[in-house]
Amino acid sequence: VTFGLPFQLDHVHAYLVPTSGGGWMAVDTGLGLPGVRERWEAELGGRQLDRIFVTHYHPDHIGGAAELADLTGAAVLEGRLDYEQAVDAWGRAGFRSEPYMRAHGYPEAVIAAIDRHHEALTQLVHFVEEPEHVEAGATLDGWSVLAVPGHADGHLALLRDGVMIGGDVLLAGITPNISLWPHSRRDTLRAFLDTLDLICELRPRIVLPGHNEPIADPARRAAETREHHELRLAAALDALSSEPRSGYDVSLTLFPAELDPPARRMATGETLAHLEYLVDEGAVVRSEDGGRIAYSTTE
Ligand SMILES: [Zn+2]
């Protein structure tokens, strides 16, 4: 079930999967744009929905959950950590990301624009409070639930008979955004590279992704994606010298195109994930001065 999105990435795929009881399971829900409920109603065409599985809390995957649950009465299943991060990102008492952005050198005008965008986006994210928690290792109608952290800390995927419904774990044509977020684990890139290794090990026949075309050779795409990050790690190291630079500043070297503030935020998050990986490798030094974090080479 493909929904249009008002972003540069202009669509997202949700899936309907038959269940053993003669009903259906939805995997992801689209963004909570006006009309999402009607769209699901038309797609379901009277089919009984037994459950709604959320791969991760990003707006285009979780945003229509409340509408779909209300329409069908189906329970929403989501990982515990992922739910906590959904509340953090979209809840009324959620985190403020300004301190994180200031610490990493974002200009004030960019912070203000990102805050406005986040506020508007929050209006389109209708997640369900108190979902049923599901964890890696569980089985749903023969589908194994897998932890695939990296793009989101609590990202889950489903695997059955060589078919992986992957959310944003592996994408064709683009690579999933791997960022350091204010509430994320610090080693998101390490976690993601381990997830790519897991895909190579499991060797699914096909990955049905959240964006773009299905991936017919997942192990190969996982290897290509790993190679991409190795190149980006080298580029991040190249962008540094003994003179400390903020993550925002380094992002201007790694992503030199002019980006709108929300895209610059993703570019900076991705840059920070690579810099923190290099810190853990001992190749880069993180320093803090008056609440400002900066990175430099070891010599
Ligand atoms: Zn996502």
What spacing in Å lies between the alpha carbon of 209 and ligand 1's midpoint?
11
- Look at residue 53 in the predicted model and tell me its pLDDT: 98
CA distance 87 to 213: 30
What spacing in Å lies between the alpha carbon of 90 and ligand 1's midpoint?
14
pLDDT one-digit tens code per residue, 277-292: 999 999 999 999 999 9
Please check the confidence at residue 92 and state whether its pLDDT lies above 80.
no
What spacing in Å lies between the alpha carbon of 290 and ligand 1's midpoint?
33
- Look at residue 95 in the predicted model and tell me its pLDDT: 66
Beta-carbon neighbours within 5 Å of ion ligand 1: 58, 168
CA distance 25 to 51: 5
Which of 234, 66, 82 lies closest to 168 in space, CA to CA? 82
pLDDT one-digit tens code per residue, 138-188: 999 999 999 999 999 999 999 999 999 999 999 999 999 999 999 999 999
Which of 70, 260, 87 lies closest to 78 in space, CA to CA? 87
What spacing in Å lies between the alpha carbon of 58 and ligand 1's midpoint?
5
Please check the confidence at residue 112 and state whether its pLDDT lies above 90.
yes
CA distance 297 to 299: 6
Mean pLDDT, range 57-80, rounded to an integer: 98
What spacing in Å lies between the alpha carbon of 212 and ligand 1's midpoint?
13
pLDDT one-digit tens code per residue, 14-55: 999 999 989 999 999 999 999 999 999 999 999 999 999 999
- Look at residue 212 in the predicted model and tell me its pLDDT: 98
CA distance 22 to 54: 21
What spacing in Å lies between the alpha carbon of 299 and ligand 1's midpoint?
37
Q: What is the pTM of this model?
A: 0.96
pLDDT one-digit tens code per residue, 244-274: 999 999 999 999 999 999 999 999 999 999 9
What spacing in Å lies between the alpha carbon of 5 and ligand 1's midpoint?
13
Mean pLDDT, range 76-83, rounded to an integer: 98
Is 18 within 8 Å of 51 (Cβ atoms)?
no
Is 232 within 8 Å of 278 (Cβ atoms)?
no
